[in-house]
């Protein structure tokens, strides 16, 4: 493996058998509110932009969605569900990003980190199975820092929603160390990890 990656030792996950009661319902969104576009919109909409419309996004919340979150994110999805535990909202589930939103997003300049992560085309979902090669930490000291103030602010929002990983299907090679997304995330996070399969594709990017 490449010198800028370090294999991580994997530990078995402890099973949590405690099952708590929750209820889910489809969130009714206002029809008279105009959709807004922001870097938050770019990230989540492009994260859900795959050729089969199969990606489901989960966001942790502590309160009912704010008007800003509705305008910048929820209205861009055809299906939004909200989960409650003892009348307390704790999660949003988003699926089926609106094609018109994608068209509008791609007609505008993208944040360079987001463009590097997701590109401008729908992602192909690889249904073939390959065993996992391992999880590798990116050695930030071997990557030149790339600072993006707008993306740094976005990271704070992502962590509030407990979004700390991105599903990928990207070939790993030595040129990836020049990726501005990897360079930015490796320095802006305490740890940046890549899950790689035996076909040498990155299947998950995790930032902590």
Q: How far is CA 95 from the centre of its chain?
A: 13
182-202, pLDDT tens digit by residue?
999 999 999 999 999 999 999
Contact 46, 105 (CB under 8 A): yes
18-44, pLDDT tens digit by residue?
656 888 999 999 889 999 999 999 999
Percent of the chain with pLDDT over 90: 78
Q: What is the overall mean pLDDT for the chain?
A: 91
The β-bridge relationship of strands 201-207 and 132-138 is unpaired
Q: Six-digit token pair at 150?
A: 């707008």
Q: What number is the average pLDDT over the span 78-106?
A: 95
Whole-prediction pTM: 0.91
Which of 130, 107, 133 shows the shortest CA–CA distance to 120? 107
145-175, pLDDT tens digit by residue?
999 999 999 999 999 999 999 988 899 999 9
Which of 46, 200, 65 shows the shortest CA–CA distance to 112? 46
* pLDDT recorded at residue 163: 96
């Amino acid at each position: 493996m490449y010198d800028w990656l370090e294999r991580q030792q994997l530990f078995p996950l402890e099973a949590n058998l405690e099952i708590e009661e929750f209820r889910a319902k489809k969130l009714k969104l206002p029809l008279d509110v105009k959709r807004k576009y922001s870097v938050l919109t770019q990230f989540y909409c492009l994260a859900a932009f795959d050729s089969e419309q199969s990606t489901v996004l989960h966001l942790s919340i502590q309160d009912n969605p704010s008007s800003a979150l509705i305008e910048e994110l929820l209205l861009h999805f055809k299906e939004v569900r909200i989960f409650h535990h003892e009348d307390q909202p704790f999660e949003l589930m988003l699926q089926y990003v609106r094609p018109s939103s994608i068209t509008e997003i791609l007609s505008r300049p993208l944040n360079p980190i987001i463009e590097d992560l997701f590109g401008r085309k729908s992602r192909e979902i690889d249904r073939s199975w390959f065993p996992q090669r391992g999880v590798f930490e990116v050695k930030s000291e071997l990557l030149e820092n790339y600072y993006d103030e707008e993306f740094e602010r976005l990271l704070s929002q992502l962590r509030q929603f407990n979004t700390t990983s991105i599903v990928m299907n990207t070939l790993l090679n030595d040129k990836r160390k020049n990726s501005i997304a990897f360079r930015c995330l490796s320095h802006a996070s305490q740890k940046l990890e890549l899950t790689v399969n035996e076909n040498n594709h990155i299947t998950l990017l995790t930032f902590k």
